[in-house]
Structure 1
Amino acid sequence: MDDISTLTAVIGTNINEVRSQRALTFDQLAKLSGVSKGMLVQIEQGKTNPSIGTLCKIANALGVAVSKFIETSDASTVRLISPDEATQLWTGRNGSAGNLVVGFDNPSLIEFWSWHLVPGEWHDGVAHPVGTREILFVKSGELTLTIGGTTCRAKAGQTITFIADKPHRYANDGAKDVQMLMVVCEPGRGGQGR
């Protein structure tokens, strides 16, 4: 989905649909998500393109995968996803990008991401609900992951797993581009809300 205005409208419609299914008011969702009522109204009306952090907060509050907000149709039994179908939800200052490839929210929340970090760039991830795990596979370069007071470095071919219920940072402190694949798994809340 390349057109930002189309993506913004789809996100607004889908958030409204999930919020309505959960019978939540804007005030209730604002309290659950930490996103202001005014921002929620603007997002649902398609007047603003929310950041990935904002989408994560809303998704966590509603108990759905972020991918639920960018879906345009129901998935079939088998789905082949081409590279141009991934949705870029984050861009860095110097050309880095985070692309949500696909996600599911039943029975568990699972998202599959493709990331590219140029040297010197980073992305700060928000804390996910308790029990959420992430798996990071480094395809090239060297990734620096910081969570709490712990820093871990992974080179090409290595995998990092961690509990993602605290803010965390993915960074490229090296001289070569980092390409990585990420799986986010939040167990046991798929489709249930709070």
Structure 2
Amino acid sequence: MAQNNDPLADPGQPAVSRAIAANVRAARAAHGWSLEALATRSGLSKGALVGVEQGRGNPGVLTLARIADALGLPLTGLVDGAPAPTVEVVPPGAGTRLWQGDRGGHGDLLIGSDPPVSAELWRWTLAPGDAHVSAAHGVGVRELVTVLDGTLTLDVDGERVDIPSGACARFAADRAHAYRNEGEAPACFIGVVLLPGRTDPG
């Protein structure tokens, strides 16, 4: 991640928190929105947004997803510190950890693309018994997954499907959904989030 030169940032904050704070403020300003307007569009409280814009705490994936969706950005548009170069290589072990499971699993946002073709590439590991539950994303958001090891149980709007190692799936992520590992071995998979093109509602 590139160095963040945000003059409002507290140098004691983690680099990711500083980048998120600066990027949310900049994107909101680019839209000409007040905090109240972003709160209305994202479904979050003004207080929660103030905390994000000041780099306080550690906002969860759902909070960041709601902000990014409201702003018409991929999640990487919130956590990156600089515009992407023509070719960007993410080295092994890099990416941004945005979810940590109670049983040791984790979700890493690896890389994303900017509008008009917005997508996010994720790497997930769910320990046995782990579950990542998500509210519905914005209208038209779709996800693709490919399971590398173990078995992923995908729950979309109450419909549960087991996806074994080597198999792929696609689903409508604008419905409540969850990733679960109900097996006895870790489940490792790659996910791609596809965001539809946005038009600014004004």
User: What band does the TM-score fall into relative to the shorter chain?
Assistant: over 0.9
Distance 1:158 1:4, change over 3 A: farther
Distance 1:82 1:4, change over 3 A: farther
For 2:161, the equivalent position in structure 1 comes to 152
- Within the alignment, does 1:68 sit opposite 2:77 as a pair? yes
CA distance in structure 1 between the aligned counterparts of 2:61 and 2:185, rounded to whole angstroms: 25
- Cα displacement string for residues 130-175 of structure 1 (whole angstroms, at most 9, x for unaligned residues): 2211000000000000011211110000001011111100000001
- Within the alignment, does 1:129 sit opposite 2:169 as a pair? no
Q: 1:53 is paired with a residue of what secondary structure? A: helix
- Within the alignment, does 1:53 sit opposite 2:62 as a pair? yes
Q: Which amino acid aligns with 2:115?
A: N
For these two proteins, the number of residue pairs brought into alignment is 191
Alignment of 1:98-177 (within 5 A): 98-177=107-186
CA distance in structure 2 between the aligned counterparts of 1:144 and 1:120, rounded to whole angstroms: 11
1:84: Cα distance to partner? 3.2
For 1:178, the equivalent position in structure 2 comes to 187
- Cα displacement string for residues 21-42 of structure 1 (whole angstroms, at most 9, x for unaligned residues): 0111000111111111011111
For 2:27, the equivalent position in structure 1 comes to 18
For 2:7, the equivalent position in structure 1 comes to none
Quick check: 1:64–1:193 contact (8 Å CA) kept in 2?
no
1:73: Cα distance to partner? 1.6
1:48: Cα distance to partner? 2.1
Q: Structure 1 vs Structure 2: percent identity of aligned residues? A: 37
Alpha-carbon RMSD across the aligned residues, in angstroms, is 1.4
Distance 1:122 1:87, change over 3 A: same
TM-score by length of 1: 0.94
Q: 2:160 is paired with a residue of what secondary structure? A: strand
CA distance in structure 2 between the aligned counterparts of 1:193 and 1:15, rounded to whole angstroms: 16
Q: Which amino acid aligns with 2:36?
A: D
Stretches of structure 2 that go unaligned for 5 or more consecutive residues are 2-11
1:193: Cα distance to partner? 4.1
Stretches of structure 1 that go unaligned for 5 or more consecutive residues are none
Quick check: 1:9–1:46 contact (8 Å CA) kept in 2?
yes
CA distance in structure 2 between the aligned counterparts of 1:4 and 1:90, rounded to whole angstroms: 19
Quick check: 2:13–2:55 contact (8 Å CA) kept in 1?
no
Q: 1:85 is paired with a residue of what secondary structure? A: coil
Quick check: 1:102–1:113 contact (8 Å CA) kept in 2?
yes
1:4: Cα distance to partner? 6.5
4+ residue runs over 2 A deviation: none
1:101: Cα distance to partner? 0.2
